[in-house]
Structure 1
Amino acid sequence: MLSPKAEPGEFRQELRIRVEGLRAGMFVSALDRPWLGTGFAFEGVMLRSDDEVQRLRSLCRYVVVDIGRGDAPAPSFVELEVVEEPAPVAVPPARPGSARSFVARFFGQEVLAAGKAHDSLEAGVRDVIDSLRTGGKLDAEKLQQGVDTMLDSITRNPDALPWVMEMRRKGDYIYQHGIACSIWSAAFGRHLGYERDDLRELALGALLCDVGKVRLPADLLVKQGPLTDDEIRLLRSHRDESLAIIAATPGISPVVRQVVEHHHERHDGSGYPAGVRGAAIPMFARIAGLVDSYDAMVSQRPYAPSRSAHQAVMELYEARDVLFQAELVEQFIRTCGVYPTGTLVELSDGTVGVVMSINTLKRLRPTVMLLLDASKNPLAEFRLVDLAEVALDANGAPLNVRCGLAQGAYGIDRAALFLD
C-alpha cells in the first residue's frame, strides 16, 4: 500500500513521507494502516486543517501523498524505497491477433506468473479436498504455500490473477469457489490497505470457509432445483464441519477461525448461526461474507443459475447496509469494477468481448478484448477497445457496454479461447 509506482513512461506523483512532514493542503492517498476505523474516507483525504494533520500523525508513522492533487512535502521528509522487481518470465510466442498475444501484451510477464500462482493454489486445494474426502487431514502448510504465491502475484499486478481465475473457472464448484473467494478477498484486502500478514490470514480464511462441504452428502451438493428446509439446514451445517476440520489442524490461527465461523452473519442480523449484526461481526468475516456471496452469484451451481458479474455487483449494491456494510460494498465495487476483469460483456454495437481491465475513474467504461462481431460470429482477429478512450462505434453512434453476460454466453468457452 505504501509503495505506489508509476506506469512506464508516467511521472510518479505519489510519495511516501513521514507524518512529521504533513501539513494542511496535502492530499493523502494511502496510509500505513487500513483506512477502516480512522474516520477518513477510503479513497484519500485532502488535509484542510491542523486538526486533521494531528489526527493522522497520531494514527500513522508514514503516509503517501499525491503531489498531483495537493501540496508537495519538503524533500527531507520523503522516504525513498528500493522496490524489488519480479524475475522475468518468458512469454511463449503467439500468432499476431490471437487472444494469447493480446493477453501477453496487456499483462506482460505477469500473466504466466499469475497462471502458475493459480495452478499452485488449485493444486493445494485439490490435494486437501481429496485427502479430506478419504478421511485424511487438512495440510495447512501446503495451502499456505499456495496462498503466498497468490499474494506475490496480486502484489505485483492486482488484475492478472483475477483475470486468469475467470478464464479457468469451470468444474467442481467447491474447488473453484474456494479459490475465487481467496483471490478476491486478497485483492479486496490489498485495496483496503492491509499488510501482507493480514492478507495471508484473510485469504486462507476465505479459502477454508466451505471446506466442510466435503463431509456433506454428495447428492445434496449436486441437487438440481430448490432445496427443502431440511436440506437447507443440512447445507448450513458445512460451517460447523469446517470449524471441526480447522480445530483438528495444527497451525490455523484464531483469525482464520473467526473468518470461517462468522462469514455467514449479515449486517442486519439476518445471517446464521447467531444472528450477529454490524460491527460485532469481525472485519475479515465481513469481507469474506461479501466475497462469498458475490462469487456464489456468478458461479454455475446445481441449484441456481449463474448471474452476470454486473448483475451480482448490482445486487450487492442494493444490499448495502442491509446484508453488508455499505462502505465495504462500495469499496469492493472499486476493487472489482462494475464490469469485473475477466467477465463477458456485450457492447452497444452488438459486439461481444471479455473485460481486460477496469478504469478506476470511469468504471462503466472498461478495456475490452472483442471476440464476436455484431452477428455473434467469431472475429478473425481479436482487438482491444478502451472505452475510456473510444466514445463512438464505426457508425458514429455512442459506444458503451450494453450489458454484462453470464458464463458461457453465446457458447463462448473462455478456457478454450485463452489457455490452450
Structure 2
Amino acid sequence: MDTSSHEMRISVQGLALGMYVSRLDRPWLETPFPLHGVAIDSDDAIARLRRICSHVWVDTLRGVAPDPRYLVFEADGPRAPVQGEFEQLRKTDWTIRSEFKAELQEAEHVHAVLEGSISEVMEDMQAGRHLNLDRLKDGVDAMIDSILRNPTAFVWLKEMKRRDNYAYQHALGCAIWAASFGRHLGLERDELQVLSLGGLLCDVGRVRLAGELLSRPGPLAEGEMQQVRAHVRHGLEILEMTPGLPPRIAEIVATHHERHDGSGYPEGLVGNQIPIFGRIVGVVDSYDAMTSVRPYAQNRSPHEAVNELYQQRGKLFQAELVEQFIQNCGIYPTGTLVELSNGQVAVITDVHSLKRLRPRVMMLLDVDKSPLKQFHEVDLGEVEFDEHGSPLVVKRGLPIGAYGLDPVELFLA
C-alpha cells in the first residue's frame, strides 16, 4: 500500500514520544485507539502499540520523524542476494577523524579548488577540447580525503554554496554525495575515487546540448526530451576519447538513468541488471537534482527530497539502496530548515552518525518566529530539554523559503 509523501512506515521498536501514528498494520477498530490516529504522548501509548502491532506509519508533518534505523521497507523480491551484495561492497569502516569546525576550514579550500577544476574542464569541453581527467582527479582526491575525515563539512558547503549555474553545481554535488554515500557503504579509497568521478561526469554529455534547451522553464516536448536523453550517448562519446579512463566510470555514465522497475533509459535495464555503481549514482543524481536550483523545476528541501526517494523505493530505485542512502544522510539532511518541538526554527548544520535524529542545528527564529538577535548553535545530541524542561527534538522539516528564510543568503551574504 502506497504511503503519502509525509508518512513513514517503521517498526514499533522505533516509536518515540512526540510522534504521530497515522496508520496501523491492522484495522483501528481492532484496537483501543481513536480511528484517526494517535499522538504519542506517553510511554504507556508506546507500550500498547508494541503489544498489538509489528509496524505502524508515522506522519512527519504532525509529529517527530523516526530514526532511519527503524524504517520498514515493502517486500521487494528475494532479500538475501541483495544483502550479500552490500556485504561484498563493505571492505572497511571509516571513522570520523576530525571535528566538523576544524574540517570546514580545510574543506573550504578544497571546495574552491574543485569548483575551479570543474569550471575549467567544462569550458574546455564546450570549446571542443578533450576531457582532462587528471585535472579532475586532483580535486576529487582532495575532496575524498576531507570526506573520509568528516563527511559533513563538504555536504554543508555544497548546500550553502548553491549557485545558479546548475551544470557544474550539480556535477560537484553528485561527486560529493557519491563520496559520502560510498564512505557510508564501506568502499575502499580507490573505489571512492571511481564513484566520485562517475558522479562528477555522469551528465557530462549535456555540454553538447543546446543551452536554450536546458534553460527553458516548464516541461519539454517529447522530441526535446529525446534530445536531452541523448546526453548519455554524448557523455560516452566524450569519455571514449579520454585516455586512461577506468571502465567503471563509463559504466556509471551509461547506466545512471536506468531505473529499478525498467522505466529508465537508454536501455530499460531492470533491477540488478543495472551495475551497482550505476544504481548508487542514480540515487545520488536524483537527490541532488531535486535539491538544486533548476530552470525547469521547483527545487525541494533536502527533507522533501529524502521523502520522495522513500516513496520511490522498490519502484524507480532499489529499496535497500534507498534505505542505505537515508541511513547516510538522515531523515533531515544537512542544510534542512526544521521546526523544533518548542516552536523555534533552525537549520541542520551537522548530522551525528549515531544520533541522526539529534543533529547539531543553528537557531534562527524564536518561538514567535521572529529572527533571533544572534544565531547560535545547539547540539541536540547533548541538549535534550528546552529551557522549560520539555523534550527538545526536531518536530518537522520545512520547505525552502519557509518564514522567508534561505540558509544560503543567511550564511553567505
Task: Bin the TM-score by the shorter chain.
Answer: 0.7 to 0.9
Equivalent-residue separation in structure 1 for 2:219 and 2:148 (angstroms):
40
Equivalent-residue separation in structure 2 for 1:362 and 1:157 (angstroms):
15
Letter in 2 for 1:273: P
How much does 1:260 deviate? Answer: 0.2
Q: Give yes or no for the alignment of 1:154 onto 2:139.
A: no
RMSD across aligned positions (CA):
2.8
1:126–1:175 Cα contact (<8 Å) kept: yes
How much does 1:244 deviate? Answer: 1.2
2:250 alignment partner in structure 1: 257
Equivalent-residue separation in structure 1 for 2:399 and 2:111 (angstroms):
22
Which fold has the larger relative contact order, with Cα–Cα distance below 8 Å and residues 6 or more apart in sequence? 2
1:21 alignment partner in structure 2: none
How much does 1:136 deviate? Answer: 2.3
2:136 alignment partner in structure 1: 143
Q: What are the superposed Cα offsets for residues 118-173 of structure 1, whole Å, 9 maximum, x if unpaired? A: 11211111111122222222111111111001011011111111111111112211
**Equivalent in 193, 205, 219 of residue 212 of structure 2:** 219
Alignment of 1:38-117 (within 5 A): 39=83, 107-117=100-110
Letter in 2 for 1:262: T
Provide closer, same or farther for how the CA distance between residues 156 and 389 of structure 1 changes in structure 2, counting only shifts above 3 A: closer
Alignment of 1:132-211 (within 5 A): 132-211=125-204
How much does 1:384 deviate? Answer: 2.1
Letter in 2 for 1:401: V
Provide closer, same or farther for how the CA distance between residues 228 and 41 of structure 1 changes in structure 2, counting only shifts above 3 A: closer
**Equivalent in 345, 350, 353 of residue 343 of structure 2:** 350
How much does 1:345 deviate? Answer: 1.8
TM-score, normalization by structure 2: 0.74
Equivalent-residue separation in structure 1 for 2:118 and 2:403 (angstroms):
31
Equivalent-residue separation in structure 2 for 1:141 and 1:108 (angstroms):
30
How much does 1:361 deviate? Answer: 4.1
Provide closer, same or farther for how the CA distance between residues 39 and 340 of structure 1 changes in structure 2, counting only shifts above 3 A: closer
2:256–2:279 Cα contact (<8 Å) kept: yes
2:164–2:293 Cα contact (<8 Å) kept: no
Equivalent-residue separation in structure 1 for 2:328 and 2:303 (angstroms):
13
1:166–1:343 Cα contact (<8 Å) kept: no
2:29 alignment partner in structure 1: none
Identical residues among aligned pairs (%) = 52
Provide closer, same or farther for how the CA distance between residues 346 and 170 of structure 1 changes in structure 2, counting only shifts above 3 A: farther
2:319 alignment partner in structure 1: 326
How much does 1:388 deviate? Answer: 3.9
Q: What are the superposed Cα offsets for residues 18-73 of structure 1, whole Å, 9 maximum, x if unpaired? A: xxxxxxxxxxxxxxxxxx9795696x9xxxxxxxxxxxxxx89x988xxxxxxxxx
Query: Which ranges of structure 2 fall in alignment gaps of 5 or more residues?
Result: 1-79
1:367–1:384 Cα contact (<8 Å) kept: yes
Equivalent-residue separation in structure 1 for 2:380 and 2:411 (angstroms):
22
1:164–1:342 Cα contact (<8 Å) kept: no
Query: Which ranges of structure 1 fall in alignment gaps of 5 or more residues?
Result: 1-35, 45-58, 65-82, 87-105
Q: Give yes or no for the alignment of 1:119 onto 2:105.
A: no
